[in-house]
Structure 1
Amino acid sequence: MACSNRSTIPAADESGATTISAIHSDVLQTHILTRLDGPTLASASCVSSQLYSLSTQDNLWRDICQATWPSMDNPRMRNLISTFPKGPRSFFSDSFPLLVSRPEPHDRPEQNPHPPPSELIFAVDIYYRNKLIFSKLHETETLTSWFKYSPFRVDLLDPKDVVSTPIQYPDGEESDRHLADDLTLSWIVIDPTGKKAANLSSWRPVWVKRHWLSGEIQVLYASILAGDRKSSELAQCVIMVTFGSKTEEFHFRN
């Protein structure tokens, strides 16, 4: 009876160096790919067909979405983003980059539009020095005249509500500037009917200023939204975070 001792020979390139294909797929998926952020995971998927197959698993992108936007970590939102065309990967692709309008070819055939949603969902996350200080989901209906009239406005908190933060009240203009570097905001609007999402925030503030009368610190984020290709109309979306005067509390309005 013949006996053979078979050993696995690692894949190697022409120079004899071991390539990534020598690493078992279980090791790649559980110990390497799970450590990557969204942009890095997307880049890894372009390296080879093997990495593409491993990097497009829904569980990886679901975990990345929840880590990037803690406001998405609830049963309803997990179920909703699973219904996007490519699941959580589509949601991340819609929501991670800044919103950029690209002109479409004039000869491109028009697609049948989705019916307008009966509600919109806003997912808001605010970080100070890379630490989460505020996270909230907010829903609003779109059927009444209140929504259709311009300008449209959403208040995340009532005017009298405040949220405590670890941020010290700035003493002067030099102290105000650190908010522009350290305070980041993500504001995602989600269309649950059309299975689309977009991040309306500029991520970092476009300006920080102190109100001359109240002493409140106003931090403003903004983006410019384009209309459909039949219109040259532009709309400005403004998000404002207001820090209460000489307290360690703040409230939001936009």
Structure 2
Amino acid sequence: MASSVEAPPPSSSVVNGSLSAVHSDILETHILTRLDGPTLASAACVSSQLSSLTSKQSLWTNICHSTWPSTDTPRIQQLISTFAPHGPRSFFSNSFTNPDPDITTTTNHDHCRSSELISAVDIYHRNEFVFSKVVETETESGWFMCSPFRVDILDPKDMVPTRIPYPDTDNTCQELEEDFMLSWVLIDPIGLRAMNLSTYKAVSVQRHWLSGEIQIRFGSILSGGQKGSGWELSHCEIMVTCGGTKGGEMHVSEVCLQVEDMDGMHLNGKDILVILDRGFEGKRGNIRGREVKGKKRYEEYMERRRERKEKKLKREGRLDMLCVVCGVIIFSCLGSFIFWR
């Protein structure tokens, strides 16, 4: 009986030989244009021929616009083309994944160099486009510096209709965690820096106990800097609020970004500029598995915050008990003094 032997994988020389037989115009116009960003970046490592073809700005410009429709505006197009060192390719590399909160690789700058920040936001449901918008936020006024940092994508009276059925049960509501996708690319137009503040897929979905609105949370974890002898983390929380009625379709009524510290306090503009500056300058996570890593970081952060809160409550409980004991002792001593007098 003949034994079956699995054929070995083709060597790189065979692959390169096969590619060299294909005309470069066919590769460029019919093959490379069909790839997404991560696959295109991987293709650049296969051969010198593909490395040369995949380095063209027009190819990466189209990738950026197809990945983030919000970037297809004249100003952002101009900014993307000037990103160093490779224009749109560098922009994609910076914006596709979240900043790594590893404190050993972050830098410590005193302030953000930009007088404004640009938010390019895109929302999808089951890979179907829902809506996108670009918002510019000034960062120099006294109001921005002293007020809690918050970026609202929609005006209070705005409402974006969708074709998404309104969830009638909690199980249906939880399905939105996998179905909803959001990208929040934050751009520093002066320093020509960018990063994505969203986990891409939701980290939690809840129904508001009073209004019944669906609250879908995204976000990322950033280094908050050194405090005392340790390092702090900050949570960039992105909240998408959707309304609607049972049997009807959902509408998006709010999309906002806020940043909290480990104690759950919202940070002001002055503090957030330093944190964002570390995020811009810090290293990026791996392209593959960004959704899993983003949610894992979020869960680890929330667990650390819960433990921190429990320790704080225990300290406060012991302090309260000490105050009560001291009060009883003082009261007893005062009573004895008055009695014997």
Provide the alpha-carbon RMSD of the alignment.
2.6
The structure number with the bigger radius of gyration is: 2
TM-score norm. by structure 2 comes to 0.65
Matched with 2:18 is 19
TM-score norm. by structure 1 comes to 0.86
Matched with 1:88 is 88
Q: Kindly report which structure 2 residues correspond to 1:72-87, keeping only aligned pairs within 5 A, or say none.
A: 72-85=71-84, 86-87=86-87
Change (3 A) 1:56 1:213: same
The letter for the 2-side match of 1:98 is: N
Matched with 2:159 is 162
**1:124 and 2:126 matched:** no
Structure 2 unaligned residues grouped into runs of 5+: 1-10, 257-341
Change (3 A) 1:229 1:160: same
The letter for the 2-side match of 1:252 is: E
Matched with 1:98 is 98
Deviation at 1:52, TM superposition (A): 0.7
Matched with 1:6 is none
Higher relative contact order (CA 8 A, sep 6+): 2
Contact persistence 2:154–2:254 (CA under 8 A)? yes
Q: Which residue of the other structure, out of 178, 181, 185, is the alignment partner of 2:182?
A: 185
Matched with 1:5 is none
1:50-109 deviations in whole A, cap 9, x for unaligned? 111111110000000000000011111111100100100000000111332334469xxx
Distance 1:141 1:47 in 2: 43
How many residues end up aligned between the 2 structures?
240
1:169-194 deviations in whole A, cap 9, x for unaligned? 11110110121111000001000111
Matched with 1:243 is 242
**Percentage of matched positions with identical amino acids:** 54
Distance 2:240 2:197 in 1: 14
Change (3 A) 1:114 1:80: farther
Deviation at 1:115, TM superposition (A): 6.1
Considering fraction of residues, name the structure with more helix: 2
Distance 2:112 2:13 in 1: 56
Distance 2:138 2:42 in 1: 37
Deviation at 1:18, TM superposition (A): 4.7
Distance 1:214 1:22 in 2: 63
Matched with 1:196 is 193
Deviation at 1:233, TM superposition (A): 3.0
The letter for the 2-side match of 1:63 is: N
SS across alignment from 2:165: coil
Distance 1:53 1:114 in 2: 38
Contact persistence 1:13–1:19 (CA under 8 A)? no
